[in-house]
Structure 1
Amino acid sequence: MRIVSLFILFLLSAGNARPSDLFFSPGRIVWLTLFVYLAASLAYRWTRAPARTAAMKWEGAALSLLSVNAVVQQTGGVHSYFLYLYPVVLLIASFQFSFFRSMILVSGIFFLEGVSLSAAPPADPLSQWMVFFPLALIVIPLTVKWGLRAFYREREMLMKKLKNKKMEAAVPLPDMKQRPELARLSKEEEKDEAQMLAKRMEAHLEHLLGLILASRMQAHRAVFLSYDREGELLWVRAARGRQSPLGIDLQRTIPLGEGILGWIAKERRAVAVADLPDQKEPLDYDDGSVVPHSLLAVPVLDQDLFEGLLCVDSLADHAFSIQDEEVLQGVAREIVTVLTYYREQQRMSQRTRVYSALLEISKSLGSRLDLDHRLEITADSAKEIIDYDRCFIFLVEPGERRLTVKAVKGYDPAVVDYNFALTNGLLSIIVKNRQVLLFSQLPSQRAKHKIFPDGCKISVDCRSFLGLPLIIEDRAMGVVLFLSEKENAFTTYDRHVLSILCNHVAISIAEAQAHAQVERLAITDGLTGVYNHRRFQERLQEEFVRNARHPEPFSILMIDIDFFKKINDTFGHPAGDAVLKVIAKLLAKMVRKLDVVARYGGEEFVVLLLKTDSMQAWQMAERIRKTIESAPIDWQGQKIEITVSIGVASQPADAAQREELIACADKALYSSKRAGRNRSTLFKDLTQDMYEVG
C-alpha cells in the first residue's frame, strides 16, 4: 500500500510541475493527502518501532525528495534556490545506501525535474543549462564511493580472511581420529571433555568477533548472543571490545520478543538502530557502564534454524552502513560453521563413548552365564549411558500376568525377588504392547500415569520415565525401567541406544535361562526333582574342603525304602514312581534350605545335614522315619503303607574323608535293614556293638 502511494505521489509531483497550476487544484489536494498520510505513517513507525529498518530509510529518502520537489515547484522551479537541496539529500543517502540505490534516487530527481525543464520557455538560458543538473548529481555518489574505496577494500579483505582463514590463530581443534582414548572416557570425563570443547568454541567465537573489531568498522563492542530453545532465551556466549571493561552483564538473559534484541531475535532479520539514546529501552546486555549510540544486529541462521544474534554497537551515531551489515552477515555464516563443527565434535565424542560402553557391556554379559550377574551388570553399566536416579529390571513370569524384580539401583534392595500382578499401570502397557514408553515430563502420580499396578508395594515418583521391554521372538521376557527426578532427563537418542542394549540383554537373559535349565537338568534327578547322585558327591566334597578351613560338624542320612520291589510288583511301576516323588517332596520339605536332598540310586535317598552332629542327625532321621510311616500314600483309591530304614554317619566323629563317610552311613543303613527295617541306626552305635562282640 505504501509503495503504491509513493508511486502515485511521484506521478502527481511530475504532473503538477507547472507553476501556473492553482495551489488548491484537485491533483495537488490528492498529492497533499497522500504525502501527509505517508509522512504520518513513517513518523509513527519511526517512533514506535524498536529499530530503524532499511525499508523505513528508503521511504524517508523518497519523501525527502518529494518534499524538496514541492518546495522547488512553489518557489520558482529551476530558478529556485531550494533546488540545491537535492545534492544535500543525495549526499546523505549515498552514505546510507549502495551506489546502485543512490543512482535510483538520481533517476527519481531526473524524473521529477524533467517535466519542469520541458515546460520552461525555450529561450530561457538557465533552463537550457539546467538540463545537465540531474546528470551532474551522478558525481555525488561516485565521489562518496570513491572516497570510501579503502573502506570497502578493508571489508573485502576481511571477508576473504573469514572465508579462507577462519580458523587461523585459534585454538587447535580436537581430531577424533587421532584421539582413540575418547572411546574409553567415563561419563564424568566426557563432561570434562565437553567443557573443554565449549571453551575452545568460545575462543573461536571471540576470534571471529576480534576480526570485526580489527576492521575499520566503527564498532566499540562485538557480542554473540546464543539462543536457548528450551527456555526461549538469549544469553551472551562470546564478547569482545576495544576497551576494558566491556560493560556487559554476562549473567543476564533476554526473553524472546522482549526489548530491542528480543524483538530482533523474534523477527529474525538484520536491523540497524542509528540513535540508541532515543530508544525507550536500552540494550539488554549492558550493565550501565557503557552508553552505546548505534547498534547493528543480524540473526545467526543455520538454514531456517535460529542460533542466536550477532551484534555490534558503537559510541557514535549512525555508525553502521549497508556494507557493515554485509560484513556481519558473513561473520554470522562463519559462526554457524563453528557451532556446527563443535557440535559434531561433541556428538562424536558422546557416540564414541556410548557405543564403546555398549561394547564393554556386551563383553561383560558374556563373561558369566549367571542370570543375576548379567542383570546386575546391565543396571550398573547403563549408568554410563543414561543419567538415571532409579533403575529396575523385571522378569516376566509365564503367562505374562506377573513381574518379578531381579535387579534394582537407587531403591531399597529388599524388593529383589518381589513379584506382583500386572493389572494396570505403565508397566502393564509395556508388556502388553511390547513397546518402549518415554515420558520427558511425567506429571505426579495419577491414575492414568501410574507406573506400578494397584497393590504393588513399590511406590516411586518421577518426572522422566523410560521403560523398555525385553523381547525374544515376540515373547516378553522382562522390562528395564529407568526413572529420573528431573524433567527432560531422557532423550530419543537415549531411547535408541538403550533399545540396542535391551536387545543384547534379552538375548543374554534367554541364554542364561537356557544354560540354567541345562545345568539344572544335569544336577537334578529327572523323576523326583531333587539332586542326583553326581551333584550330591560334588556338594559333599565341597563341604569337606570348606570344613578344612572352618571346622564344623555335618552328617549324612542314607535312606532306603523298605520292600520297594514288593510295591512295584503289587501296584505297578507307576505306583513306585509316585512313591519316590512323594518321599522326595517330603524330605525337601522337612529339612532346612541349607541342607541337601539327593536321590542316591534306585529307591535310596541321601540327606546332607550341615552344621549337625551325630545326635542331632539321628533325631532328624527319627522324625523323617516316623513322618513317612504315619502318612500312607493314596494310589488309585488304595493305601500304600511305606516305611524306611536310615543309616546315620557324621564328620568328624565317624570319618574324615568323603568315601569313608558314605561307607559308614551305608553300613549303618545295612544294620537297620538287618535288624528288621523301619528304624534309624547311628554308625557310632554300630561300631560300639561290634567292639563289644569282638
Structure 2
Amino acid sequence: MTQPMQVLLVEDDPDYVELIRRAFAAHQPPFEIVWVDTLAAAQRWLADHTPDLVLTDLYLPDGSGKALLPQDDHSLSYPVIVQTAFGDEQKAVELIKAGAYDYLPKRFDAFRELPYVLERLIQEWRHRREQRELEARLQAGQSVFEAIFENAPLGILYFDQNGVLQAANEQLAQLLDTPRQALLGLELANVPFEMIRLAVQRVLEGEKISQEIDFRLKPFQRGLAIRSQLSPVQLPDGRVIGGVAILQDITAEKNDQDLHQTLYQIATLAHRASAADALYQGIHELVQKVLPAENFYIALWDKTNQSLSFPYWVNQANPAPGLVPFGKGLTEYVLTQGETFLAEEALYQALVKEGTIDHLGTPPQAWLGAPLKDHQGEVFGAVAVQSYDAQVRYGPNQVKIMEYIAAQIAQVLERFRAQEEERRQRRLAEALLEATKAFSESLELGQVFERILNQLQRLVAYDNCSISLIEGQWAHVVAEAGERLPESEPAHHLRWQQLDTLRQIYERSAPLLIQDVRDYPKWQKIAGLEWVQSYLGLPLTIKGKVIGFLSLVFRQPHEFDSAVVDSLMAFANLAGQAIENARLYQQAQEQAIHDELTGIYNRRGLNMFASQEYARAVRYGRPLSMLFSDIDDFKAFNDRYSYAVGDQVLKVVATCLRDNLRRFDLLARFGGDEFVILMPETDQNEAIAVAQRINSSLRCLAIEVSGVEVTITLSFGVAQRLESDAAWEQLLERGSQALRRAKQEGVPLVAAC
C-alpha cells in the first residue's frame, strides 16, 4: 500500500480548506491533509512532526507565514510553499529568497491542478535533497580520501591506463627515498624490475594483486623489503582507467623473521649437534645469514684460572690464539663490562691510546662483541664478529641482533654444557657403579689394587697412578700403573710428613690439584720423575681417617674443573673402602688360618699351604719331609701346675720351633700340644737333624714355675715324601704313626719306614 504524502495546511479560511480537501480526496497517490488555522498551532505541530510539505497562507490571524521559513541558515527537512493572492507576486519572490521553496497564487480555478502541482513539488524537493546529500557525501569522501592519501603511514600511488604514475603521497616518496615530483610521470611499465612491470600489466587487465618484493642485498643490510596491494580503477561500465597501489615497508618485519628463524635454527642445532665443534661451526653459518660475520669467534672465560679459551675461531687476519691469560683485549673488555660493545676503528684506536685495551693482532675496521651470560646473569664468555673491510659497518640494528644471538648462543651453550655434564656424570656414575661391582668381586688385596688402577684409567688418562698406604711415618707404594716409577727407595717409600703435597692432603683430607708444578714453589722433585708436569693427589679415607694416597701424575700441564675433581674424589672414597674391605678380609683370613694362642698356623692353615707345597714338590721332583711332634708329659704338666702355665709352655715351644726353622718352612699347631713342621727341599736325614737341634734348644730353655725350673722335651715322628704317595695327607699319616711309636718306645724320635 502506497504511503500517503502528508501536507500541513496552514489556512484561516475554512471554505478554502474544504475546497482543497475535495480537490485532494481522489488523488493518487493519496495525500494526508493536516489543517491548522494559526501560526502558533502550526509551530506546535511541527515541533513533533515532519510533513512532506507545508502549505501556508502568508497572512494568518496571529502572524505571518514567513515565521515557518528556515531561520539562521538552518535548512528544513521539508519544503514550505507560500500561498499569495493576486498582486502579491513581488512579496512571494522576497519570501523565496528568505527560504520558501515556491509560491502558489490563491486561484479558485486551480484546485483541480493543485494535487499534481504539490506532488511534483514534493518529488522535486526529494530529488534536490538527495542530490544535496550525495554532493555532501562526495565532498566528505573527497576530503577523507585526500586526508588518507596524504597522511596514511603507507605509500600510495595512482597510475593511469598507460602505466604512468600520476599521483604519489609523501610517504611513498620517503619510502623510496625519492622526491615526490621526481616520481610523477614515471612509466611503471618500463622500470627495470620485471616483477613490477608484470604487476602493472595485470592490474590494467582488471586483476587485483598482492605481492612482496625483497630488494635487500643481505638481511639487515641496505635495501628494502616491500609488501604491495594493487587494485584496478574501473568505471561503472567495467573499463579500467588506471590502478592504485599501496606499498608497505616490511624490511623490519623481514629482518625479524630472518632473525627468529636463525635463532630457531640455532636452538634446533643444539639438539642435533653431537660435538661442540659441529655446534660452533653450525652457529657461525647461521649467524652469517643475519650479520656480516666472515670473522667470528666464541670465547670462554675461566674465572678460576683467569684465562680465555677460544673453542671456535675463524679470522682472515689472525691465527687462533689458543689458551691465553686474561688480558686487556676487546674480548676482556666485554667480559668485564658485561655489556655489548661496538668498536669501530676510531674508537678502537682511542681505547688503545688511553690504555683501556691493548693492541692485539690486526686492528679491525669494525668489531662487535656481546657477553654470554648464564641463567643467573653470570658472564662466562663472549661472542664477537669483526671486519677488516672499510665498507662494512655495524650499527644499532646489528647491536640489537648481536644481543639476541648472544642470548640464544648462551642458552644453547649452557644447555649443551649441561647436557655434556649430564652425560659425563652419567658416565661417571656408570664407571663408579662398575668400579663398585669390580671392587666387590674380589677381596684379595693385590687384585683390588689392580682393579682400582684399571677403573681409574677409564675416568682420566693419567701417565702414572700409584697407590700408597700409610704405615707410621712412611707411605709405601703398594701398586702402580702407567709409566713405571723409578726403582729408587725415595720413589716407593715416602716420608709423607716431609712432603708438602701429601701432608696437605692428609691434614685437609681433601684432594690437591697442581695444574703446573712449575708454578708450585713447594714441589719436591724426585730423581727419575723430572718429567712430571701436573699432579693430582686424592686421600684414601676410612671413617674420616686418611689411610693412604692415590697419586696421579701427567707429562703435560693438566686442567681439571671442580666437578671432575669431585668425581675422582668419589672414586677415591670407593677405592679406600675397597682397600679397607680387602685388608679386613685379609686379616680375617689370617686369623682363620693362625692359632690364636701361639700365632703360628693352625690345622686350617696347614691344610691350605701343605697341599701347595706338596704339589710343587711332586711337579718338580723335589724332596719334602715332615716332623710330627708333641710335648712330653704335657697332660701331667697341666694337671700339676695349671692350664695358664700350660699355655705359656705352648708359646715357648712355638717360639723355639720357629727360631730353629727356615723362613719358608711351614709350622702349624695341629691340636693340643701337637705341632707339625713341613720342610720343602729337605730329605729325611736333614729332618732328623732339625728335630735334634730343636730338642737341644728346648733343653737350654729354663722355664720357672712356682720357683722351680722345669725342662721341656718333644717327641718327633719323621716322614719323607714317597713316590707312591697320592696326597700330602699320606705323609702326615706316616709322621703321626712314627710319633706314636716314639711315645710307645720311650725314645725322642722315630723315623717312618
Alpha-carbon distance, 1:275 to partner: 5.5
Matched, 1:493 2:592: no
Alpha-carbon distance, 1:319 to partner: 3.0
The structure 2 residue matched to 1:663, chosen from 733, 736, 740, is 733
The 1:401/1:144 distance shift into structure 2, 3 A limit, reads closer
Matched, 1:468 2:539: yes
What is the identity, as a one-letter code, of the residue corresponding to 2:260?
K
Where 1:647 maps in the other structure, the secondary structure is strand
Match of residue 572 from structure 2: 502
Match of residue 631 from structure 2: 561
Relative to its length, the structure with more helix (as a share) is: 1
Match of residue 296 from structure 2: 223
Matched, 1:640 2:714: no
Match of residue 408 from structure 1: 480
The 1:446/1:344 distance shift into structure 2, 3 A limit, reads closer
The 1:548/1:148 distance shift into structure 2, 3 A limit, reads farther
Q: How does 1:2-151 map to 2 (within 5 A)?
A: 149-151=249-251
- Give distance in 1, aligned partners of 2:369 and 2:308: 16
- Give distance in 1, aligned partners of 2:731 and 2:250: 108
- Give distance in 1, aligned partners of 2:598 and 2:744: 27
The structure 1 residue matched to 2:673, chosen from 603, 617, 635, is 603
Where 2:320 maps in the other structure, the secondary structure is coil
Match of residue 237 from structure 1: 312
Alpha-carbon distance, 1:307 to partner: 1.1
Alpha-carbon distance, 1:420 to partner: 6.8
What is the identity, as a one-letter code, of the residue corresponding to 1:311?
V
Matched, 1:173 2:272: yes
Where 1:351 maps in the other structure, the secondary structure is helix
Question: Does the 8 Å contact 1:471/1:478 carry over to 2?
Answer: no
The 1:652/1:402 distance shift into structure 2, 3 A limit, reads same
- Give distance in 2, aligned partners of 1:153 and 1:286: 38
- Give distance in 1, aligned partners of 2:267 and 2:660: 80
The 1:257/1:643 distance shift into structure 2, 3 A limit, reads closer
Match of residue 423 from structure 2: 349
The structure 1 residue matched to 2:320, chosen from 251, 264, 276, is 251
- Give distance in 2, aligned partners of 1:444 and 1:285: 29
- Give distance in 1, aligned partners of 2:278 and 2:432: 29
Alpha-carbon distance, 1:516 to partner: 2.9
What is the identity, as a one-letter code, of the residue corresponding to 2:425?
R
Match of residue 241 from structure 2: none
The 1:634/1:479 distance shift into structure 2, 3 A limit, reads farther
Matched, 1:521 2:628: no
What is the identity, as a one-letter code, of the residue corresponding to 1:594?
F
- Give distance in 2, aligned partners of 1:530 and 1:220: 82
Matched, 1:578 2:648: yes
Alpha-carbon distance, 1:609 to partner: 1.0
Task: Give the structure-1-normalised TM-score.
Answer: 0.61
Alpha-carbon distance, 1:447 to partner: 9.8
Question: Does the 8 Å contact 1:557/1:617 carry over to 2?
Answer: yes
Question: Does the 8 Å contact 1:270/1:298 carry over to 2?
Answer: yes
- Give distance in 2, aligned partners of 1:451 and 1:568: 62
Structure 2 gaps, min length 5: 1-173, 178-222, 227-246
Match of residue 21 from structure 1: none
Match of residue 438 from structure 1: 512
C-alpha distance after superposition, 1:579-602 (max 9, x if no partner): 211111222233233321111222
Where 2:485 maps in the other structure, the secondary structure is coil
Question: Does the 8 Å contact 2:224/2:251 carry over to 1?
Answer: no
Share of identical aligned residues, percent?
Answer: 22
Where 1:166 maps in the other structure, the secondary structure is helix
Q: Which has the larger radius of gyration?
A: 2
Relative to its length, the structure with more strand (as a share) is: 2
What is the identity, as a one-letter code, of the residue corresponding to 2:288?
G
Match of residue 198 from structure 1: 276
What is the identity, as a one-letter code, of the residue corresponding to 1:237?
Y
The structure 2 residue matched to 1:154, chosen from 248, 254, 259, is 254
Match of residue 465 from structure 2: 391
The structure 2 residue matched to 1:319, chosen from 386, 393, 411, is 393
- Give distance in 1, aligned partners of 2:387 and 2:506: 61
Where 1:164 maps in the other structure, the secondary structure is helix
Alpha-carbon distance, 1:311 to partner: 1.1
- Give distance in 1, aligned partners of 2:308 and 2:529: 40
Structure 1 gaps, min length 5: 1-90, 95-142, 175-195, 214-218, 240-245, 688-694
The structure 1 residue matched to 2:751, chosen from 682, 686, 694, is 682
- Give distance in 2, aligned partners of 1:277 and 1:446: 41
C-alpha distance after superposition, 1:380-426 (max 9, x if no partner): 322322444443434445xx665554333442578799777765544
Where 2:712 maps in the other structure, the secondary structure is coil
Question: Does the 8 Å contact 1:386/1:490 carry over to 2?
Answer: no
Aligned length: 502
- Give distance in 1, aligned partners of 2:521 and 2:392: 63
Which moves more between the two structures, 260-269 or 337-346? 260-269
The 1:674/1:616 distance shift into structure 2, 3 A limit, reads same
Match of residue 607 from structure 2: 537
C-alpha distance after superposition, 1:621-644 (max 9, x if no partner): 233232223333345654321222
Match of residue 15 from structure 1: none
Greater relative contact order: 1 or 2 (C-alpha under 8 angstroms, separation 6 or more)? 1
The 1:492/1:588 distance shift into structure 2, 3 A limit, reads farther
Question: Does the 8 Å contact 2:540/2:575 carry over to 1?
Answer: no
- Give distance in 2, aligned partners of 1:600 and 1:444: 61
- Give distance in 2, aligned partners of 1:234 and 1:579: 76
Question: Does the 8 Å contact 2:717/2:740 carry over to 1?
Answer: yes
Match of residue 139 from structure 1: none
Where 1:212 maps in the other structure, the secondary structure is coil
Where 1:577 maps in the other structure, the secondary structure is helix
- Give distance in 2, aligned partners of 1:457 and 1:276: 56
Match of residue 622 from structure 1: 692
Where 1:211 maps in the other structure, the secondary structure is coil
Match of residue 652 from structure 1: 722
What is the identity, as a one-letter code, of the residue corresponding to 1:173?
R
Alpha-carbon distance, 1:545 to partner: 4.4
Alpha-carbon distance, 1:548 to partner: 5.0
Which moves more between the two structures, 421-430 or 326-335? 421-430
Matched, 1:587 2:665: no
C-alpha distance after superposition, 1:282-304 (max 9, x if no partner): 9999998xx97444444444433
Where 2:275 maps in the other structure, the secondary structure is helix
What is the identity, as a one-letter code, of the residue corresponding to 1:204?
G
Question: Does the 8 Å contact 1:523/1:532 carry over to 2?
Answer: yes
C-alpha distance after superposition, 1:246-268 (max 9, x if no partner): 73433346875556666556555
What is the identity, as a one-letter code, of the residue corresponding to 1:224?
Y
- Give distance in 1, aligned partners of 2:556 and 2:343: 42
Question: Does the 8 Å contact 1:250/1:285 carry over to 2?
Answer: no
Question: Does the 8 Å contact 2:505/2:538 carry over to 1?
Answer: no
Which moves more between the two structures, 352-361 or 537-546? 537-546
- Give distance in 2, aligned partners of 1:387 and 1:671: 67
C-alpha distance after superposition, 1:507-561 (max 9, x if no partner): 3344333333333333222221212224323433444445554433211111122
The 1:368/1:305 distance shift into structure 2, 3 A limit, reads same
The 1:590/1:333 distance shift into structure 2, 3 A limit, reads same
